[in-house]
Amino acid sequence: MSTVTGTPGATPKYTKKDFESDQDVRWCPGCGDYAILSAVQKTMPSLGIPREDIVFISGIGCSSRFPYYMNTYGFHTIHGRAPALATGLKLARPELKIFVVTGDGDGLSIGGNHLLHVLRRNVDVTILLFNNRIYGLTKGQYSPTSELGKVTKSTPMGSADRPVSPCAFALAAGATFVARTVDRNIAHMEETLKRAAAHKGASFVEILQNCNVYNDLAWNVLYDKDSKILYECRLEHGKPITFGPPGDRRGLVLQGIRPKVVKTKDVDEGSLWVHDSADRATAMLLAQLWAPDYPIPLGVLLNEEGQTTYEEILIQQEQKAISDHGPGDVGKLLMAGETWKIG
């Protein structure tokens, strides 16, 4: 029963303002996080979920201030551990809609292990990973997504690390919904957020986000008007993968398992690679494409529907145990002695 309306199944009519908290938003002026926050707040009313049934959980980093700015329940946790807290809450209160907000440092460095397991278990949470290719809160060190050779305060001679592809990581870990969007394309970001939130299972959205203080224009290939036309590739399920300006459209074809860029006017339309968002193998190929050799895919890479979630399995096990043996008594078990016998 909604604690707001008092009526089972009823949801108040919200606006964006209903999801704005009374806290001062404290990011650097010009940070891409402002656009993401606005898009999330605008998306919330369309979900049809009572505000008291929505929870935002974050770790540590600039992005992790997010719960303070959402007028919902929230939990600002410790570095990299937001997925673990979200898993516990989902098991205890499976009816809640849970969002995990993390960054490329928080989620893929110290939190990489926790992110791996929440995805492979298919916990029904929506994960938003803000990727600015830098550590912003700690003032400009390289992150797991920084490009090879990146010069920062912690890598004055250039990073020797090869970067992680967040979407490829999520796909390899077993996420059942994987998408990519960009902070300066508000309409695309809002649509992607809606689709991710509607998915049942572990959904993962990489949001390319600008840190204008420590890594300004890291995604300029998708910001600059001329290069954006050349490289932005919008994915649509069941449609050929094409990109480029109207007078010089390009497309992708598959030669075995290797993508190749072609001019659409030079090939039959039937030979173009048609996007299948239910195909994990081709989603992995798309996740690793990047300029200048390839376009940059945006949109839903993978959407596997109908997969059993982690909490559903454990709830079924709990119900079976109660059915077979009756309700347990934890207090009695703890006081039973130095050894326990189960089963």
Q: Is residue 85 situated within a structural domain?
A: yes
Residue 76: strand, helix, or coil: strand
Residue of higher predicted confidence among 244 and 10: 244
Q: Is residue 224 situated within a structural domain?
A: no
Grade residue 323 by pLDDT with cuts at 50, 70 and 90.
Answer: confident
**Type of residue found at 234:** R
For residue 83, whether the previous peptide bond is cis, meaning omega lies within 30 degrees of 0, is: no
Q: Is residue 93 situated within a structural domain?
A: yes
Q: Is residue 208 situated within a structural domain?
A: yes
pLDDT at residue number 10: 72
Q: Is it the case that residue 9 has pLDDT exceeding 70?
A: no
Q: Is residue 89 situated within a structural domain?
A: yes
Q: Is residue 245 situated within a structural domain?
A: no
pLDDT digit string, tens, across residues 26-44: 999 999 999 999 999 999 9
Which residues span the domain enclosing 181? 16-218
pLDDT digit string, tens, across residues 40-78: 999 999 999 999 999 999 999 999 999 999 999 999 999
pLDDT digit string, tens, across residues 110-169: 999 999 999 999 999 999 999 999 999 999 999 999 999 999 999 999 999 999 999 999
pLDDT at residue number 1: 41
Q: Smallest Cα–Cα separation from 168: which of 178, 159, 176?
A: 178
Angle at 302 between CA 168 and CA 132, to 5 degrees: 45
Angle between helices 112-120 and 82-92 (to 10 degrees): 30
Q: CATH no. for residue 187? A: 3.40.50.970
Q: For 144, list phi and psi in degrees, rounded to 5.
A: -60, -20
Q: Is residue 334 situated within a structural domain?
A: no
Q: Is residue 248 situated within a structural domain?
A: no
Residue of higher predicted confidence among 235 and 336: 235
Residues 152, 163 contacting (CB under 8 angstroms): no
* 251: Cα separation from own chain's centroid: 27
Angle at 66 between CA 64 and CA 69, to 5 degrees: 150
Number of domains into which the chain is organized = 1
Q: Is 185 exposed, middle or buried (0-12, 13-18, 19+ CB in 10 A)?
A: buried
Q: For 40, list phi and psi in degrees, rounded to 5.
A: -65, -45
DSSP character at residue 176: S
pTM for the whole structure? 0.93
Grade residue 195 by pLDDT with cuts at 50, 70 and 90.
Answer: very high
Burial 270-307 (b: 16+ CB within 10 A, else e): eebbebebeebebbbbbbebeeeebbbbbbbbbbbeee
